[in-house]
Amino acid sequence: MLFAAAFLSLLSDEVFDFYFILFLLFFNFIITFLQERKADNAIEKLKEKLDFPVEVLRDGKWVFVNSYFIVPDDIIKLASGDIVPADVEILEANELLINQAALTGESLSQKKHKGDKVFSGSFVFSGNAVALVKKTGSDTYLGKAILSVEDGKKVSIVEKDILTISKFLSLVSLLGVFFITIFLFFEGFDFIDIFTLDLSLIIAGIPVAISTVITIITSLGVFHLTKKNVAVRRLSSLEDLANVTLLLTDKTGTLTKNEIAIQKFLEYGCKKDDALFFAYLASFKDARSVISKAILKEYEKSNKNKKEYKILHFIPANSERKRSTVTAKIEDKTYTISIGAPQVIEKLCKFSGQEKEKFEKDIQKIADDGYRVLALSFVLGKIEKNMSFCGLFAFSDPLRKDAKGVIKFLKENGIKVKMLTGDNKLIGKRVGKELGLSENDIFSEVLPKDKLDIV
């Protein structure tokens, strides 16, 4: 419409109007193009990080190939820290722990065995494996979920509004032109005069500057967001965001930090500082474990009870023992310390009837609150028997510092919030409660492909 108006202006010798309309069109295009190109460049840089070398069996030899060139039926090696480049089936596994937070929202890593499937987008937390590639790219579980979101050209609210306004004003102009032309023709006016008047009405009726003004205003908003490290890919999406009345949010890494941390300690035979020191001794040689990392981090933050010690013997946790055990000399006394699954540690300890009842109640309460729990015990000497029960550590993925404030802000501004998480119901319920969400606002064990259907 604007191009038509520009050339009609030129035909009627309105040269200034011709150049002015073209300038507005060009200015609008340049602003939009530069801003969206900047965002696209930022996204392309992020995409470059998705290409990484993968060890693949080709022609009977293990060679490194860019992940982009992985194909179905390739056999690949996976080691600690590797991103899984495709949907694969495990052929061989050695103490393999896979973190699937990007897919399921579960912060804790999952143990995988021969025959298990592992999906693209997850990563190897520890251990190693040989795997058979089943699906790549858009055929993968994650790829299909991403494509389902990318499908289709989205028309924003502001684009619809501009089109509606433009159509309305243009229709009014054309109707006005139609009736005036008929009236003036029968009144005997000169054709050139009628045409000039018609052209003026058409140009006046078309909102020449509206898209330019809105683009400039939106660009100012984008400029402020850029300072906060937000990449706005489509300018009109800001107007959509301003019209949001219902927000469906992920949990892990969005409302929480996506890292396991000690949330509470239930005392039995030890004070928290002593228990933390014992847990540190039983964990620091197994620092790859996400639970051990949480213990080490908490211990490093504490300045209390850092005694002289010497490690005499250490047995790491595995799927059979379900506990790690350390024998250490602490200030001329020898201790054996064990930390692991509560039901395993319970069998190593002496419990009175009252203590046993309290232990079972505490375990049930912690489980109901959606925490991961480890038990700690110790004994003087080198034999892992008749140990004293020290206490229970409760672990979870803590909230981000700004999460509560954001939820409060959204509610105060009339935006309803629902949390969609891949974690189990108990974890979702606890996190939702901490954020001030009701049970009706929490949806648990939701897979990525289902989130779009819910939207």
CB distance 387 to 350 below 8 Å:
yes
Q: Note the Cα 140 to chain centre separation in Å.
A: 18
**Shared domain check, 196 and 183:** yes
* Whether residues 314 and 190 fall in one domain: no
Claim to verify: residue 194 and residue 281 sit in the same structural domain:
no
Last residue of a domain, one of 367, 394, 421: 394
How many CB atoms sit inside 10 A of residue 190's CB? 9
Is residue 258 within 8 A of residue 252, CB to CB? The reply is yes
In a domain, 307, yes or no: yes
Residue 69 maps to a domain? no
Higher-pLDDT residue of 371 and 152 is 371
In this prediction, what percent of the chain has a pLDDT beyond 90?
30
Indicate whether 67 belongs to any domain.
no
Average pLDDT of span 357-371: 87
Between CA 57 and CA 66 the distance in angstroms is 13
* Overall domain count for the chain: 3
Which residues partner with 40 through β-bridges? Answer: none
Provide mean pLDDT across the span 223-229. 80
Q: Across residues 228-233, what is the average pLDDT?
A: 78
Diameter over CA atoms, the chain = 118
- The residues annotated with a catalytic role in the active site are 250
Q: Residues 305, 276: contact at Cβ < 8 Å?
A: yes
Tell which residue, 258, 254, 249, has the closest CA to residue 109: 258
Lowest mean pLDDT among 138-142, 209-213, 406-410: 209-213
CA distance 109 to 106: 8
Nearest CA among 239, 260, 79, 271 for reference residue 159: 239
- What CATH number is given to the structural domain containing 421? 3.40.50.1000
E strand or H helix at 292, and its extent? helix 290-301
448 with 422, same domain: the answer is yes
Three-state SS at 64: strand
Residue whose pair of structure tokens reads 């409660």 in the numeric block: 433
Say what the pLDDT of residue 50 is.
Answer: 63
Query: Are both 39 and 164 inside the same structural domain?
Result: yes
Whether residue 152 has pLDDT greater than 70:
no
Nearest Cα residue to 350 out of 274, 236, 269:
269
Does residue 302 share a domain with residue 163?
no
Q: Does 318 share its domain with 383?
A: yes
Instruction: Let me know whether 294 and 390 are in one domain.
Output: yes
- Residue 82 resides in a domain: no
Looking at per-residue pLDDT, the higher value among 299 and 449 belongs to 299
- pLDDT of 328 > 60? The answer is yes
Q: Are residues 253 and 276 in the same domain?
A: no
pLDDT at 304: 64
> Is residue 118 in a domain?
no
Residues 6+ apart with CB under 8 A from 88: 76, 78, 117, 118, 131, 132, 133, 134
Considering the domain architecture, whether residues 183 and 290 belong to the same structural domain is answered as: no
| Residue 252 sits in the same domain as residue 223 | no
| Range 101-122 average pLDDT | 80
Nearest to 342 by CA among 385, 283, 392: 392
DSSP of 202-270: HHHHS-TTHHHHHHHHHHHHHHHHHTTT---S-TTHHHHHHT--EEEE--TTTTB-SS-EEEEEEESSS
For residues 183, 185, 189 and 190, what is the CA-based torsion angle, rounded to 10 degrees? 150
Let me know if residue 210 belongs to a domain. yes
289, 382: one domain = yes
| Structure token pair of residue 230 | 């937000």
CATH code of 388's domain = 3.40.1110.10
Residues 455 and 453: their CA atoms lie apart, in Å, by 5
The last residue of a domain, from among 377, 394, 411: 394
**What does the alpha-carbon distance between residue 90 and residue 87 come to, in Å, rounded to a whole number?**
10
Q: What is the pTM of this model?
A: 0.60
27 occurs within a structural domain? yes
Beta bridge partners of 55: 64, 77
In a domain, 147, yes or no: no
pLDDT higher than 70, residue 376: yes
Query: How many whole angstroms from its chain centre is CA 77?
Result: 27
Query: What is the C-alpha to C-alpha distance for residues 175 and 193, in angstroms, rounded to an integer?
Result: 18
Instruction: Select from 377, 375, 379 the least CA-distant residue to 334.
Output: 379
Q: With 70 as the cut, is the pLDDT of residue 150 above it?
A: no
Instruction: Give the pLDDT confidence of 11-29 residue by residue, as tens digits.
Output: 878 889 889 888 888 887 8
Q: Please give the residue range of the domain that contains residue 308.
A: 267-394
Give the mean pLDDT of the chain: 85
